[in-house]
Structure 1
Amino acid sequence: MNIKDIGGEEGFIERMRQTHAGAVGDGLILGIGDDAAIFETPAGRQSVVTTDMLVEQVHFRRDWSDPYSIGWKSAAVNLSDIAAMGAEPTLAFLSIAFSQGESVETLDRIYDGFSDCLNRYGARLAGGDTNSTPDGMVISVTLMGSVKSGQAFTRSGARPGDVLLVTGALGDSAAGLGLLQKYGLARSEKVDKDLINLHRRPQPRVMISRVLAETGQVRAAMDLSDGLLRDVSKLCAASQVGVRIDTAQLPISNATQNAAKMLAQDPTLLALQGGEDYELLVAVAPESVDAVREAVPSLTVIGEILKSGRRIVAANGVDDLDPGAGGWDHFAQ
C-alpha cells in the first residue's frame, strides 16, 4: 500500500495525526492539523530548540537499519542535543521526504520508532511536513525543550583546571558501524547484536542530563555526536581553553575492544575518533567531581581543561600522541 491508496498527502497526515500526534495540554495548545502549532512557555523557563537532518546513505542505510530504527535514531539524535543543554524535551516536529512509491507500512514503522523514542523521554509529536523526493529519504527534525531560566548548559563555561568527564562508553557506535561495513547486517548481529543496536538505536542521556542539572555543578557540556576529539575541540573553542585527554582513562567496553580486534583497529582510536556515541561530555570544577559522580556513577574522568593547546596522553605516558581530529565532518569526507 502506498500514499495514493490512503488519499495522498492529506490522507497520510491524517493517518499520522490519529496515531502519533501528541495530546493537547501541558503547554501544547494546538498540534497537528493547522498551519502551525501553538504552545506556551511556563513562567521562569526558557525554550531550547535544536534541529537535525538525516539523509539516506549518509546517516542510515536501508540494508542495515529497519524502518523502526530509522525513526528511533531520528528522534534520539535530537533528544541528545536537548540533553546536552540540560533541558527537558517537550515538542517535536518531523519533516520527511520520500519517493512516491514508498510503502505506507514502512512509513508507519518509521513514525512508530520516532514516537516511541520521543515518548520514552517525555516529548510529543506536534507537527511536521511531508514531501516527495526522486532519490532516497530525507528526515528533518526540530525538537523543542524547556529549561529553568539561566540554567542551560553551554559549551562556553569551561575554565582551566576543570575536570573533564564523560557519561558512558566511547567507541561503541563506531565499532558497530565497522562491523556492519565489514560483515553486513546478518553476520554482524551474530558477532555482537548489542553493538549494532547501539549504532542503529542510540540512547540519548536525557535522564542523566536532568540529574546533572540538579547538581548545579556543570560548567560546560555538549553531546558527543562527531567523535570525542572533534567535539571536545568545539567545547574548547567556545570556552577559549585547551584540553588534556588521558587515553588510559577512556571508558571502552569489552565489546568494542573485541570488535576492534576483528576489525584490526585500535580501540583507543575508535573511542577518540568514532562518532555517534551520544554520550555527554561535561566540565566541572575539581572540588565538584565527587558530587557529580555520586549523582551519576557512570561518569568517568578522562582529562582536564588547560589554558591552551591540546595534549593527548597515551597509556604509556607519552605526551605527544595526536591522531588528528578524526570524527565526522559532512564536508570533509
Structure 2
Amino acid sequence: MADQARTDVNTLGEFGLIEHLTKNFKTRQKTTILGVGDDAAIIDTGGPEQLVVSTDMLVEGIHFDFAYTPLKHLGYKSVSVNVSDICAMNARPQQITVSIAISNRFSVEALDEFYEGVRAACDKYGVDLIGGDTTSSLKGLIISVTAIGRAPAERITRRSTAKVGDIICVTGHLGSAYLGLQLLEREKEVYLANPDMQPEMKEENKELYAAILRPEARTDMVDLFAKNNIIPTAMIDVSDGLASEIFHICKASGVGAILEEGNIPIKQEAQLQALEFNMDPVTVALSGGEDYELLFTIDPKDLEKVRFLPNIYISGEIVAKEDGVKLHTVGGNIHPVRAQGWEHFGE
C-alpha cells in the first residue's frame, strides 16, 4: 500500500489549520449566526441580544512556563485571555467554564492557588464560573476556558466588516508583553546557568512583567464605546501582534491597510527595553503578541468622538485590497507589513 501524503501542521499555522479542518462544516441551525472564523461565535437567543461564545487553550511549555509563572497569575490570565475575545466582539462577558488536565505533580493546594486567580478575574470582570471539567494529563498542565458574553445584535462587531476609508485605532500600548517575556526568559537562563544567582526583577520593569503574566481584558472599552454611542466597524484583540491582527481584519473584510509608524502606541519603558535588547520597538509592537489590547476600525464620521477618548490611539486607515497592508514610516517611506505574529505550534 502506498504511503499516504503527510502534511506538517506547521506549514498551515494556527489559523490556517483551523480553516483547513473546518472548511467542510456547514451551519444547520438557524440560531447559529456566526460559526468559526472570528474571535467568538454568535448565537441567536430569539430576543434583542445575542450570545457570543469563545474557547481558548493554554498548554504548559507552549503558552506558559512555571519557571516564572505563578499559579495565581496563570489562573487570572486564563480568564482574561478568553474574556478578551468577548470584548473583541463588542460584547460584555457574563459566564465562563474552566477545564483542566493535570499531572500527578500538582497538589490540591497548587490547584487552590490557580483557582484563586480564576476567582480574582471573575470578580474583576463580573463573570460567573458555571462549570468545567478535570481530568488527568500524562505531562504538565492543560487549561481550556470557554467564555460566554452577550450584546444587542446591532452592537456586535466582527472582523469582516471594515470598509475602505475607515480609521484604524488601537487601545492601550503594544509590545510590553513580549518584552516582559524576554526579560523573564533572560532571568531563567541566568538561573539555569547558576542556581545560586537571584533573579534581577527591576522595579522599572514591573509593568512589562505584569503585561505578560497578568494581562487585562479591555472590558472598559466595551463600556466606553456604549457610553459614547460608538460601534466599531470591525474589531479583533491583539493576541498575536498588531501585524498579524490587521491582516486578519483585512483578509476577512477584503481590504488593505496603511499603518502609521509614528502612531503605533508603545510605552516609554517598553521602547527603552527594546533598545536594550537591540530590538526595534515598532517591530516588537507589530510582531510581539499577547498584549490583549483591541485593534478596531471606525467610520470616519466617528473620528471626532474617538479622538478625545482616553487610551485610544488613531494608528492608520483602511484602504483598497489591491493596495495591500503597508507601514508608513516616520521618515516618509512605505514598506509592506509582514504578518509575523506568534505561532503556537512547534518551532
User: Which amino acid is the alignment partner of residue 133 of structure 1?
Assistant: S
Q: Which residue of 2 aligns with 1:196?
A: 209
Residues in 2 aligned to 1:172 and 1:220: alpha-carbon distance in whole angstroms = 24
Determine whether 1:317 maps to 2:321: no
Q: Given that residues 226 and 274 in structure 1 are in contact (C-alpha distance below 8 angstroms), is that contact kept between their aligned partners in structure 2?
A: yes
C-alpha separation between the residues in 1 aligned to 2:78 and 2:231? 30
Are the equivalent residues in 2 in contact too, given 1:164–1:304 (CA < 8 A)?
Answer: yes
TM-score, normalised relative to structure 2: 0.81
User: Please, which of 42, 61, 66 is the counterpart of residue 62 of structure 1?
Assistant: 66
> Deviations 1:125-155 (Å, cap 9, x if unpaired)?
0000001111110000011001112321111
Contact 2:218 2:293 in 1 (8 A): yes
Aligned to 2:145: 141
Where in structure 2 are the equivalents of 1:81-160 lying within 5 Å? 81-160=85-164
Distance 1:105 1:71 in 2: 14
One-letter amino acid matched to 1:224:
V
Matched AA of 2:296:
V
Matches within 5 A, 1:28-67: 43-67=47-71
1:278 aligned partner: 292
Provide TM-score, normalisation by structure 1: 0.84
The 5 Å alignment of 1:257-268 reads 257-268=271-282
Q: Sequence identity of aligned pairs in percent?
A: 38
- Offset of 1:190 from its aligned partner? 4.8
Matched, 1:172 2:176: yes
Distance 1:205 1:91 in 2: 16
Q: Report the 3-state secondary structure (helix = DSSP H, G, I; strand = E; otherwise coil) of the residue aligned with 1:218.
A: coil
- 3-state SS of the aligned residue for 2:297? strand
Q: What residue in structure 1 maps to residue 224 of structure 2?
A: 211
Task: Quote how far apart the aligned CAs of 1:157 are.
Answer: 1.3
Distance 1:157 1:317, change over 3 A: same
Report the equivalent of 1:221: 235
Residues 195-238 of structure 1: per-residue CA shift (max 9 Å, x gap): 10111000110121222144233111111001100111000111
Asked whether the 8 Å contact 1:75–1:118 carries over to 2, the reply is yes
Separation in 2, partners of 1:259, 1:91: 37
Structure 1 stretch displaced more, 238-247 or 150-159: 150-159
CA distance in 2, matches of 1:311, 1:194: 30
Give the superposition deviation at 1:104.
Answer: 1.1
SS of 1:320's partner is strand
Say which SS state the counterpart of residue 330 (structure 1) adopts. coil
- Aligned residue type for 2:169: L
- Distance in 2, Cα, partners of 1:301 & 1:159: 16
Q: Deviations over 1:84-112 (max 9, x none)?
A: 11111111100001112311111111111
Q: Structure 2, unaligned stretches of length 5 or more?
A: 1-44, 192-198
Is residue 307–residue 314 contact of structure 2 (8 Å, CA) maintained in 1? no
- 1:332 deviation in Å? 6.7
Query: Does the aligned pair in 2 maintain the 1:179–1:263 contact within 8 Å?
Result: no
Residue type at the aligned position of 2:312:
L
1:42 and 1:217 map into 2 onto residues whose CA distance is 22
Q: Deviations over 1:280-328 (max 9, x none)?
A: 111011221111234x321101110001211111221111254x22211
Instruction: Please list the CA deviations of residues 245-275 of structure 1 after superposition, one character each: whole Å capped at 9, or x if unmatched.
Output: 1111111101101111221111111111110
Q: Hey, which bits of structure 1, 4+ residues long, moved more than 3 A?
A: 188-191
Is the partner of 2:233 in helix, strand or coil? strand
